[in-house]
Structure 1
Amino acid sequence: MSKVMATGATGFIGSGLVKRLTGRGVQVVAPVRSQAASDIGPVVGDIDGYTDWRGTLQNVNAVVHSAARAHVMRDGATDPLAEFRKVNVEGTLNLARQAVEAGVKRFVYLSSIKVNGEQTSKGSSFSEEDTPAPEDSYGISKMEAEQALRELSRDSDMAVVIVRPPLVYGPGVKGNFAKIIKLVEKGLPLPLGALHNKRSLVALDNLLDLIVTCIDHPAAANQVFLAGDGQDISTTELLQGVGQVMGKPVRLVPVPNGMLMFGAGLLGKKAVAQRLLGSLQVDISKARNLLGWEPPISVEEGLRRCFISENEC
């Protein structure tokens, strides 16, 4: 990989990718949306179907597209799906078309496990062969972007690689994982001590390693891969693991799953409860078998790295 363009360079995943690539001596172009981040790379403005990428794609061999309109629990948009489509579908396809015109050979798209669905029954796992079943606007927009990219790749010489991660955690993590950390920090009793669900996570370092592998591995061309740590854990085990690396006791009270779901329903928090109590497992055997890829760090090490500075990673 002689020159790579990486979008989303100010984000949690994109910034880590730029650091990983430059550390390996790769020439990286990192376009940004805002003038305030112009020290990182060239400013392209907002991402939609009209963004002009031509100046950033010169002599680029591969594009890794992680910039997106992110999933939010409470979306204030009048038509959330339309807003997601502007960035995640139209913006992605516009970039991909210009990449084809510029002679880019590979386009790595960071999608989401939400394309598969929201949960699995215990003991079963999502795979790349599953029929997509997104349940929210974000997941639908990611699925539509994947479909558009695959169609484009069939009519061009640019290979497309799609990576679908579940919950990503690591240094500087935000969102739901940051909320879990805050729960442990408070030290309050939590009614989550008897959960036997199973959830797949992916440490940032593991996800970055898979993305870098997909940039130039011959067997990755025009494939979809699910990302994960290869070690599924329950929510109870996750809380205990976070407490261990933080050096804080975790006060977990064993309350039956059914009672928790009932209480969450009464409080209008059913969706939140499903994420905490339900299972979501992914099968990463395709990446293992086709690419010879193995997650380089364990869940325990991934949790430890959540609490060290970026300079120490």
Structure 2
Amino acid sequence: MDPLDAIVFGATGFIGRSLVAELLTQGQRVAATVRKDTLTPWLISQGIETGNLELVTADITRPLSGLPEVRDVYNTAGRYAFGLGVEEARATNVTGALHVLEWAAARPSLRRLVHISGYRVSAVDGSPDYAGLGAYEASKIEGDQALRARARELNVPLNIVNPGVVIGPGQYIGLATLVEDLWNGRLPAVPGSADTFVPITVLDHLARFMARLPTSPAGVHHWVLDDTTPRLPELIGTIAGHTGTRAPRRTVPVGLVRRLPRKLTGADPETLSFLSTDRYPTAGADAFATDAGLRTPAATDALHTWADDLVAARFGATSPWLRPYGFHPVAGSRTWLTGDRHRPDHVLLHGAPMNADLWAPLASLLTGPVLAPDLPGLGRSSATAQPMDSWLAELLDPVQTRPLLVAHSLACAPALRFAIDHPTRISGLVLVSPSFLQAPASPLARSPLAAPLMRRMSPARLAHTLGVPNGVEVKSAAADLHRPGVARRVAAALRADITRRSKSRALLDQVSVPVQIIVGSTDPLVTPVAHPVTEVAGAGHYLQLTHPAQVAHHPGAVAART
């Protein structure tokens, strides 16, 4: 039987699974080593055909046997974590790497062994300093040196790939922790200097590069990283500008960070050695990529896309509920948009203290594409000095359909004003728990302590305050309230809504598009209206969270009347 085209060790890892996807996309027959099959569901979610995939079990910390014959061997397995013990790190990064090489050396059809190392690893000569560097980096250096020496002894055709900081969906450690601190307002200064260089490598580019590497000369080792990566302070500034957060203006020398208590700096000591001004020999990798027809994505664009991925996944705490997603400029706000910006059937506007994610239970029951933004200054969107009406008009300017506009609570008033000013742009209006027709908000909304109280709320406490049952998903709303300025802006929006209620009620007589009002029986209207009203039994103010099926039934009725 002919050997398989390739085997990928570490196939369920961040790099390994993307490499498997690339090889399968090329039509190769691939064996993938797994302990638990999380790979196949991930590949299917990415739209990758798995007919040419063979799953095998392997533990590289022990000598390998019983694996299928292959032509190309890829080792993407490794323990990438800080705070590892020496033996734990060496078991995979040194011993495991040698086991893969020795197994590959015995393959009669072997064409190439491709091994993942690291951009700082292959540049080190001499024995690694475990005490100074930490177990992760030191073990990678030791493994790199041992692998090269053993490959020469066994005459194994070897290529070592030294990527920079690999960025892409699913990467939540390393540089991602700096971005998370920036996002949450916990980065008062950038560690390092103005010239600190932390080069990035885009995951998709790395996977394509590795998949083509077996056709290149053996024995050549490549630094696969973007030499145009902005210096670290500029990199952080680029992400801050894209996400609408405030970038630190100062840098802190690494030596000082080392001397300060970790509790104060939040910096893992093992990450500090990566903060250097060193540059790396990328000419060979760049030439190979050019010859292979591979283009390195622009660093700024790659950083923007990665920042969107990090925020959408809440830095690994959840999975995005809808694509596409990302930050876009809307009326002076870096606005977080989820869904179809050009051809939505429904536009969903959340109330306070929510964000677009809280529409997920309802959106899954609606037919057709949706557009769900975070309102300016709330959720993940930055504030704007422009009026809410200007923001909503600019948000909907690219929309080419006549969507149904669905708004909740305090978003109902601006949605109503848009319907009056632009009746031909929408097919109808659904007002869910319109605050201006209901009892005044809780005393918390009017309290000067509202912002600090909301800022400290746990998800369980927030759920209790909102009157939704435990288990209803409000984690993302609680997380947003902890970010700088969000709780304060939520409190201000609630107070402003109270003062404008009478004006909003008067506008109901002017709307010309079909209107449907939906409320919960425990939070009924206190003002009679001339529009159809549905009362959902047992529901409160946040019925799109607690009773999504009942809410989803009514937008269709509005559309039918248009």
Fold similarity call, TM over 0.5: yes
Question: Unaligned 5+ residue runs, structure 1?
Answer: 117-127
1:148 is paired with a residue whose SS is: helix
Aligned to 1:178: 176
1:266 to 239, 260, 263: 260
1:115 is paired with a residue whose SS is: coil
Aligned to 2:21: 19
Aligned to 1:47: 60
The yes-or-no answer on 1:66 pairing with 2:68 is no
Deviation for aligned residue 1:16: 0.9
Structure 2 counterparts to residues 137-216 of structure 1, below 5 A: 137-156=135-154, 158-187=156-185, 190-192=188-190, 195-216=194-215
Deviation for aligned residue 1:63: 0.7
The 1:17/1:173 distance shift into structure 2, 3 A limit, reads same
Alpha-carbon displacement from aligned partner over 1:249-278 (angstroms, at most 9, x marks no partner): 2313423534x8536622245737836864
Deviation for aligned residue 1:146: 2.9
TM-score normalised over the length of structure 1: 0.77
Alpha-carbon displacement from aligned partner over 1:160-196 (angstroms, at most 9, x marks no partner): 1111122111111110232133223224663239834
Alpha-carbon displacement from aligned partner over 1:111-166 (angstroms, at most 9, x marks no partner): 122424xxxxxxxxxxx6x6367433333332333333333433445301111122
8 Å CA contact retained: 2:105, 2:156: yes
Supply the AA of the counterpart residue of 1:109: H
Supply the AA of the counterpart residue of 2:135: S
Aligned to 2:230: 233
1:288 to 282, 286, 289: 286
2:125 is paired with a residue whose SS is: coil
Work out the CA distance in 2 between the residues paired with 1:156 and 1:9: 25
8 Å CA contact retained: 1:195, 1:277: no
Work out the CA distance in 2 between the residues paired with 1:273 and 1:98: 33
Q: RMSD over aligned Cα, in angstroms?
A: 3.3
Alpha-carbon displacement from aligned partner over 1:58-109 (angstroms, at most 9, x marks no partner): 2x11011001122x2223x3xx1x2222222222222222222222221000
Alpha-carbon displacement from aligned partner over 1:225-268 (angstroms, at most 9, x marks no partner): 112012132222112222344xx22313423534x853662224
1:301 is paired with a residue whose SS is: helix
Supply the AA of the counterpart residue of 2:230: I
Percent of aligned pairs sharing the same letter = 22
Work out the CA distance in 2 between the residues paired with 1:274 and 1:147: 22
Work out the CA distance in 2 between the residues paired with 1:20 and 1:153: 26
2:12 to 10, 13, 18: 10
Name which structure has the greater RCO, CA cutoff 8 Å, separation 6+.
1
The 1:190/1:159 distance shift into structure 2, 3 A limit, reads same
Work out the CA distance in 1 between the residues paired with 2:168 and 2:40: 25
Aligned to 2:89: 84
Work out the CA distance in 1 between the residues paired with 2:229 and 2:71: 35
Aligned to 1:255: 250
The 1:266/1:181 distance shift into structure 2, 3 A limit, reads closer
2:73 is paired with a residue whose SS is: strand
1:68 is paired with a residue whose SS is: coil
The 1:151/1:186 distance shift into structure 2, 3 A limit, reads closer
8 Å CA contact retained: 2:127, 2:142: no
1:61 is paired with a residue whose SS is: strand
The 1:295/1:172 distance shift into structure 2, 3 A limit, reads same
TM-score normalised over the length of structure 2: 0.45
8 Å CA contact retained: 1:205, 1:297: no
Alpha-carbon displacement from aligned partner over 1:16-54 (angstroms, at most 9, x marks no partner): 1111111121221111123666877534243213343x3
8 Å CA contact retained: 2:225, 2:282: yes
The 1:95/1:196 distance shift into structure 2, 3 A limit, reads closer
2:100 is paired with a residue whose SS is: helix
The 1:136/1:187 distance shift into structure 2, 3 A limit, reads closer
Work out the CA distance in 2 between the residues paired with 1:251 and 1:133: 42
The 1:35/1:250 distance shift into structure 2, 3 A limit, reads closer
1:50 is paired with a residue whose SS is: coil
Aligned to 1:120: none
Work out the CA distance in 2 between the residues paired with 1:183 and 1:238: 14
The yes-or-no answer on 1:112 pairing with 2:118 is yes
Work out the CA distance in 1 between the residues paired with 2:228 and 2:299: 7
Supply the AA of the counterpart residue of 2:223: L
Alpha-carbon displacement from aligned partner over 1:185-224 (angstroms, at most 9, x marks no partner): 224663239834222221112322321232222x2x0122
The 1:110/1:183 distance shift into structure 2, 3 A limit, reads same
Work out the CA distance in 2 between the residues paired with 1:145 and 1:273: 19
2:189 is paired with a residue whose SS is: coil
Q: Which moved more, 1:264-273 or 1:292-301?
A: 264-273
Work out the CA distance in 1 between the residues paired with 2:78 and 2:105: 20
The 1:28/1:240 distance shift into structure 2, 3 A limit, reads same
2:181 is paired with a residue whose SS is: helix
Work out the CA distance in 2 between the residues paired with 1:111 and 1:211: 12
Supply the AA of the counterpart residue of 2:165: L
Work out the CA distance in 2 between the residues paired with 1:197 and 1:147: 26
Work out the CA distance in 2 between the residues paired with 1:148 and 1:276: 22
The 1:209/1:281 distance shift into structure 2, 3 A limit, reads farther
8 Å CA contact retained: 1:188, 1:251: no
Work out the CA distance in 2 between the residues paired with 1:276 and 1:149: 22
Total equivalences in the alignment: 287
8 Å CA contact retained: 1:115, 1:132: no
Work out the CA distance in 2 between the residues paired with 1:149 and 1:188: 40
Question: Unaligned 5+ residue runs, structure 2?
Answer: 42-52, 310-319, 325-562
Supply the AA of the counterpart residue of 1:9: A
